[in-house]
């Protein structure tokens, strides 16, 4: 899965590096993965993409939603939600891959699924995306349309017992905001990931909204998080406050120990002092 900051970084790098390149070969599902998802028959990707030229890319803001990189290849659309790597002409490629594009200058682009990921290929003028993929089309948190009114509307009709983590990172309420980016967002808002929505004051919700916007923007502007790699296999420049890289470090605000726990199908990190 790609989270929103990295989707922005990857799409910008693809625009600068791959635009204008023509695909000479495309191979999908060469190394089958149980959680790699395709639209239709992966064997058809070669005929659909060969000879097509990459014209642009965006972070899920054109046809789908956040957490995807959309690549326009002539009259076809690639929707990718798994890490993407660029390989210069003559460079060694990945040992295994779930999608490989070869270009007319000898360079390549590969996708290798880690946990799960989609690599969909279909005409962008289709009425609906392939049934394998469910999309919640909504404003990106980094767009003007994602304002305070929209954010407060997201709370409407939710169970009061829902946790802060569940609110932000499940049910595609904010596509592309996942468990990774969630940690620093809640830390900066001083909200515990297990805290129930019914306990949040209006001020708490305001802080959460401000943190969603500012934290994701910082992650994007600094080249992605230091826990994720970019198109060129380089770590992002944003230093995460709470992640597996900092779990053993003291809280940067109060100096107390950081807690790491399993919660809602993933790990959460928090400071029990700063995030009561």
Coil/strand/helix, residue 138 = coil
Please state whether 103 falls in left (phi above 0), alpha (psi between -120 and 50) or beta.
beta
Over residues 177-186, mean pLDDT: 96
pLDDT of residue 132: 56
Residue 190, phi then psi, degrees to nearest 5: 60, 45
Q: What is the pLDDT of residue 116?
A: 87
Residue 124: pLDDT band (50, 70, 90) is confident
* pLDDT at 128 exceeding the cut of 70: no
Topology given in CATH for the domain delimited by 4-122: N-terminal domain of MutM-like DNA repair proteins (3.20.190)
Q: Mean pLDDT across the chain, nearest whole number?
A: 93
Q: Do domains 4-122 and 148-270 have the same CATH topology?
A: no
Number of Cβ within a 10 Å radius of residue 48: 22
pLDDT digits (tens, 9 = 90+) for 67-108: 899 999 999 999 999 999 999 999 988 889 999 999 999 999
Sign of dihedral through CA atoms 65, 96, 108, 220? positive
Fold of 148-270: Helicase, Ruva Protein; domain 3 (1.10.8)
Pick from 214, 182, 189: nearest CA to 276 = 189
Q: Which residues contact 178 (CB under 8 A, 6 or more apart)?
A: 1, 3, 67, 169
Condensed to tens digits (0 to 9), the pLDDT of residues 189-219 reads 999 999 999 999 999 999 999 999 999 999 9
- Decide: 87 and 109 in contact? Cβ < 8 Å: yes
Domain ranges of the chain: 4-122, 148-270
Q: 0.85 cut: is pTM over it?
A: yes
């Amino acid at each position: 899965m790609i989270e929103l900051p990295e989707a922005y970084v990857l799409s910008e790098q693809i625009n600068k590096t791959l635009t204008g390149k023509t695909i000479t070969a495309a191979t999908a599902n060469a190394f089958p993965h149980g959680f790699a998802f395709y639209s239709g028959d992966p064997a058809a990707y070669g005929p659909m993409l060969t000879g097509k030229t990459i014209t642009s890319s965006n972070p899920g803001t054109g046809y789908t939603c956040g957490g995807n990189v959309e690549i326009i290849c002539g009259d076809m659309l690639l929707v990718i939600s798994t890490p993407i790597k660029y390989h210069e002409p003559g460079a060694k490629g990945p040992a295994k891959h779930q999608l490989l594009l070869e270009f007319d200058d000898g360079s390549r682009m590969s996708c290798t699924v880690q946990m799960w990921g989609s690599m969909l290929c279909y005409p962008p003028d289709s009425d609906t995306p392939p049934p394998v993929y469910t999309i919640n089309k909504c404003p990106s948190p980094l767009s003007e349309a994602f304002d305070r009114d929209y954010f407060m509307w997201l709370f409407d009709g939710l169970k009061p017992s829902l946790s802060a983590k569940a609110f932000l990172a499940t049910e595609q309420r904010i596509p592309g905001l996942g468990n990774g980016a969630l940690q620093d967002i809640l830390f900066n808002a001083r909200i515990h990931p297990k805290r129930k929505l019914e306990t949040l004051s209006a001020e708490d919700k305001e802080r959460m909204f401000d943190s969603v916007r500012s934290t994701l923007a910082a992650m994007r502007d600094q080249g992605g998080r230091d826990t994720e790699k970019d198109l060129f296999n380089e770590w992002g420049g944003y230093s995460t406050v709470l992640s597996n890289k900092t779990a053993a470090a003291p809280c940067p605000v109060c100096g107390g120990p950081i807690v790491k726990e399993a919660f809602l199908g993933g790990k959460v990190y928090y400071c029990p002092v700063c995030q009561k």
